Structures are given as structure tokens and as C-alpha cells.
Structure 1
Amino acid sequence: MNYRHAFHAGNHADVLKHVILSRLIALLSRKEAPFAYLDSHAGVGLYDLAGDQASRTGEWLQGIARLWKAEDVPDQLVDYLEVIRAMNPDGVLRHYPGSPELARMLTREQDRLHLNEKHPEDGRLLKENMAGDRRVAVHLGEGWHVSRALLPTREKRVLLLIDPPFEQADEPERCVQALNEAIGRMRQAVVAIWYPIKELGQLRRFYRDLEKSNAPKLLRIELYVHPADDAQRLNGSGLVISNPPWGLEDELKQILPWLTTLLGQSQAGWRMDWLIAEQAAGAKP
């Protein structure tokens, strides 16, 4: 499945991913100590919804456009929406943040960002978009090497987003390998892996591999906008999160039903459960 960022900017999967990313940053920011944000497949960071790629699919009309016009938005979504409003000061929705820009806007002066983008042209645009912020380092290496290349960080806390395009059949396995490498270098790393919901056979194998990973605990979050067994389209998306900060699960119990109702298309649904539950002290892995 091809999932290039620019074609799908602002769609239902982006909204889910970025809402959860904003909450991860907010919850980590409750402690004064700095943290590092790492993005393995960063993209260019900023997207024009009226540009050729995004307008060719128009997927944002069933994603962020719905949220942009929504009323009675849960308080937990305010940070995310404020970033988008700041990018569209005239009130007309045209520009949308990728995860690098969202993280840059929501992190604090004491936090650092490491953004990696392998594609040379996208990497150049990412550097231009992040220019002027001394907290940000842009890397042009292989995204799958981020865990081994950049961890451990000097900060004691880290949030790593693994968000590949899912163009290659082995990318789910590589996600699990990157998770294991990150946990091996920083046991308490918060690692968020985004994935599309399309081919259920591949997805079940992904779940089994994740359950065998080295993560101390692993939370699964999914939102569906179509029946999950339709292999011809993007039916939804999910994130698995190692070591989610305290409070995230309770927040998502409030957010996910509202977001699912807002974004649902032919058939909507959500689930949240633990692929790896936290083990009692002294229990065998």
C-alpha cells in the first residue's frame, strides 16, 4: 500500500495520529524535565491542502475539514486545533502541519527535536521549514536506523514516532525491529507506531509480532471509518504505543467515541486495548 504523506495530508488517519501525538506531548510536558522528540519518517513537515498532491485525492475533506467546522470539540483537542488555526490565520483551512511541525509547535524551549527524512528533496524542504529553530536537528539518513543512530539521547525521556509510508511488504516487521531497538537502548522510551488498516492478514501478523516485542507495555488504538475487511481502501488506522504516559488511556476513552462519530464514513468504530499489559514486579517476561 502506498501511503505518501502529501497525498493524504489531513485525512482521517492524520487526524487520529496527530490528535494522539498532541496528547502524548501534552502529557510528557506535565513534568518540567526536558524530553527529546524523534521522527523516523518525517516528510516535509508542512502541507498545502490546495496543492497538487493533496487536492488530487481530496481526502482532507473527510478528515481535518470535518474537525475544522465541528462544534463542542473536546478540550483535549484544543492544542492540536490551535496549531492549525495559527497556520490559517484568515480562517480558511488551507495549510496543515505534518508531525514535525505539530511537534515543533507544541514542545517547549527545553525540549529537542530530531527529524529524519530519507528522500533528498523532502529532506531539503524539511530543513527549510524547520530553519530558525535551534532546538531542531534534521537528519537525512535511513528512517529504520533512527533508533540505533540517535538513542539513547542525553534527555532521560524520549518520544519516538515511527510513521513509514507502508510501500514495502516488510515494513510492519521493520517497525517491530525499530521498536525493539529503541526499547533496548532506552527501556522507558515512549514509541508510537502508526499503521494503516487495510489488509487484515498482514495486520494480524503485525499484532503477533508486536506481542512478542520487548516493549514493557504496549497500548493499541484504532479508528475505523469503513468496515475493516475491505481490502480495496484505507478502512482506518491505528497506533501502538509503548510506555504510554499516565492519563493517556483515560483521555482516549473520552476522545475516541467523539472522533469516531465525527470521522466515520460508511461504517465507524474504534477500539483500544493492551497488546502487552504491564507485568507485575518480578514476573517473568
Structure 2
Amino acid sequence: MSAHWLNALTDLETRGIPAVLITVAATDGSAPREAGTKMVVTPDDTVGTIGGGTLEFRAIEIARQMLTGKQGPSLRKFPLGPSMGQCCGGTMTLLFEPQRPDLFTVALFGAGHVGKAVVQVLSALPCKIRWIDPRPDEFPDHVPPGVEIEISNAPEREVSSLPDDAWLLIMSHSHALDLGIAAKALQEDRFSYVGLIGSETKRARFIKRFRELGLNEAQIGKLTCPIGIDGVTGKHPGEIAIATAAQLLRLREAKRTTLRVVDESAA
């Protein structure tokens, strides 16, 4: 982890690790560090220092307690006397600011040309990517940060291990695999997006099979096929990747800004 707090926060954001940024907001009298000094605390690590000793130990403890809940920023004043085991005699006011990465999980089934292009585009976005394929030789030797490779001989079984609200992109080398993965995902009915690469003809054929497998119309209606934002019809892997990333971002933004209305009289 970088020794600089700003680089550290950027790195943690990329890796989806929550942290608390501690800033010396003010000092009065003698203090081990001046106002503006910063320190980053994660569940397992720290970057920087606000002066060491009991004060720093207590600040780390408070920060990690904050990471276990949903607390917002807080300002706390500490006397640097006998009660803190410090002899400075002044006071320090610390600002605690939780930093919770706004990441979303994308499960990408398929390591072909389009899958590789999708990973390159999505890896620049605030997301975690689980890249799943039964063919180990199809994966590149190096993948971007935030990408986790999973080699599975039964990719459809990996669906159950995905977190709720994950975004699924299905583009394997086999129509049979695509069908099994999509059917499982639609049946579980807990994901933000189930996208299947293919044409309208493929969509119609798959919908017929979904009905034969017992999926209801509400479940089937959650399928997105073809994938990609409207108006982009190119077939180049890079074009498909960009159009798909744009669609995910647009849908995600709409989901985040949707007004939740609660009828209290129905409670």
C-alpha cells in the first residue's frame, strides 16, 4: 500500500476496501502533529500517523468500529493528558471520515474476444469483476486490478455464489452454457441485470426454452438480450464492450436515483 494517504485511498477504492480517513482538524497547545495531518485506517492496515501513542491507538480503534457499521463523519476532541497516557498537555481534534467504495459486482461468463474487450473497458470503472470460464487457456496472463478469474467446469453453478444485485453478462463459447447460466440467474431472480449476448432470434429461441424449463413470464422479462446501449449496432468486440458498459452505467444510475415511495398507511 502506498505511503501517501491520497494514493492509498485511490488504491483502496480500486480494490473495494473500506477505510476511514483521519485528519487532525485542530490543535490547542502542545500536540505531536499539526493540523492537516492525515492517516488512513482499514480493517487490517494503516497508512501514515497522527503522532503515535495512546491517541493513535484509540483513533484506530474508533475508526475500525466505524467500519463495522454505517456511521457518517464525526469530529472528536482528545485531551493529551494523563487520561490518554500522553504528556503533551494540549488537545487534538480529529475528523473521522469513512470511505466506503461505491463498487458494483459484474459477473462475466465467457473469456472469448468479446469477454476480453469487456474486461478491458469495465476494469476502468468502479466495479469488481468475476470472470468465469471453463477454459483456463483462454484467460490472459495478466488481468487488471479488481478482476478475479474463476475457472469452472460448471459455470452455471457459480451463479448461486454471486452477491445479490450483481450484474451478469453472459457470453460463453457455448449456447448450451449460455442457456444454463441465464436460466439459473433468472430463476434466482435477485440480480440487477442479466444480460445475454446475441440477436433477437437467439432471444426468441431462449425464451421458448425458458418456458419449457418452467420459468414464469416475470422471471423471463428480466432478461436483456441483445445487450448494449441503443443505437450502437457494430459487431467489433470493442464496440460491443463500450455499448455494454454504457448500458450498465445508465441502468445503474437510474436504479440509484429511483425515488423510493413508502405508503405508511399500508404498514
What TM-score do the two structures reach when normalised by structure 1? 0.37
Which of 1 and 2 has greater Rg? 2
